[in-house]
């Protein structure tokens, strides 16, 4: 099986612009999560999507948004970019099921990330 | 809420020496615990996990970690490191219920193996 793919791998934007990042999960995986990685804040959870619905969200401003399509591919969008948005954005997919109440564990597989630089 | 503290930001070590990367967590409920490794310009790879059962878990490349509930720790060890182990290592937790895919990570430990 192909792994999680993220496009583009590198991106340079200027302050005030908006950006869209894409993530294609492993075939058959319906859960996609996004994380932001910065030297100062480390790895922080952005949000998770399952079957086109956001079911968990981290503590990020509304400028950060996402969506998931019927084929499980996901995009995240950052509007009005700030210098502090420069980061590695990682996407992870899993075969985790619908219920948040399930205690079964489904491994998350991470993509290589998109390196966003805001100038 | 859960939190994770990795006690060392950088660990330099010579090849074939033993190493321990320390991880402490805080949680009022039971958790699942993980170690991930990140090589330069790559995403995260799961190294090993503790879900339940035996408190000592092992990876295929010689790392092991021991879950210690009383000390709320999940330290990662390897008896003899190789140059190829040079990478950043992240400890992470999640709740078994109600968290979906949300992982809470520590700040990472940079392991640098020198010849």
The answer to whether A103 contacts B90, with C-beta atoms less than 8 Å apart, is no
- The confidence band for A102, taking pLDDT boundaries of 50, 70 and 90, is low
Whether residue A99 is predicted with pLDDT greater than 60 in this model: the reply is no
3-state secondary structure of A58: coil
A3, closest residue in chain B (CA to CA): B43
- Written as six digits, the tokens of A111 are 């993509």
Task: In whole angstroms, give the CA distance from residue B65 to residue A54.
Answer: 33
Per-residue pLDDT of chain B (115 residues), as tens digits, is: 889 999 999 999 999 999 999 999 998 888 889 999 999 888 899 999 998 888 888 888 899 999 998 999 999 999 999 999 999 999 999 887 655 668 999 999 999 999 9
Residues 6+ apart with CB under 8 A from B91: B4, B6, B21, B23, B25, B33, B34, B35, B36, B74, B76, B105, B106
Antiparallel, parallel or unpaired: β A19-24 and A74-78: antiparallel
Q: Nearest Cβ partner of B43 from A101, A102, A110?
A: A110
A:49-68 residues touching chain B, CB 8 A cutoff? 50, 55-56, 58
Q: How confident is the model at residue B51, as a pLDDT?
A: 86
Task: In whole angstroms, give the CA distance from residue A46 to residue B59.
Answer: 28
The answer to whether B45 contacts A50, with C-beta atoms less than 8 Å apart, is no
Q: How confident is the model at residue B92, as a pLDDT?
A: 95
- pLDDT (tens digit, 9 = 90+) per residue, A75-89? 999 999 999 999 999
Task: In whole angstroms, give the CA distance from residue A59 to residue A92.
Answer: 18
């Amino acid at each position: 099986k192909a792994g999680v793919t993220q496009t583009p791998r590198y991106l340079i934007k200027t302050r005030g612009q908006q950006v869209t990042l894409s993530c294609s999960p492993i075939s058959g995986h319906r859960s996609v999560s996004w994380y932001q990685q910065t030297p100062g804040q480390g790895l922080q959870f952005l949000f998770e999507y399952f079957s086109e619905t956001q079911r968990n969200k981290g503590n990020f401003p509304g400028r950060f948004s996402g969506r998931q399509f019927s084929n499980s591919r996901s995009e995240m969008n950052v509007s009005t970019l700030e210098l502090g948005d420069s980061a590695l954005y990682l996407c992870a997919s899993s075969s985790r099921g619908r219920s948040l109440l399930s205690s079964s564990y489904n491994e998350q597989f991470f993509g290589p990330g998109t390196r966003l630089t805001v100038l | 809420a859960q939190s994770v503290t990795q006690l060392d930001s950088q660990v330099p070590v010579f090849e074939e020496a033993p190493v321990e990367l320390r991880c402490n967590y805080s949680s009022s409920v039971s958790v699942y615990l993980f170690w991930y490794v990140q090589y330069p310009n790559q995403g995260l790879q799961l190294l090993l996990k503790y879900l339940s059962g035996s408190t000592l878990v092992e990876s295929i490349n010689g790392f092991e970690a021991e879950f210690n509930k009383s000390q709320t720790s999940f330290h990662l060890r390897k008896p003899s490191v190789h140059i190829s182990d040079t990478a950043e290592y992240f400890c992470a937790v999640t709740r078994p219920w109600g968290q979906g895919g949300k992982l809470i990570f520590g700040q990472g430990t940079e392991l640098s193996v020198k010849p």
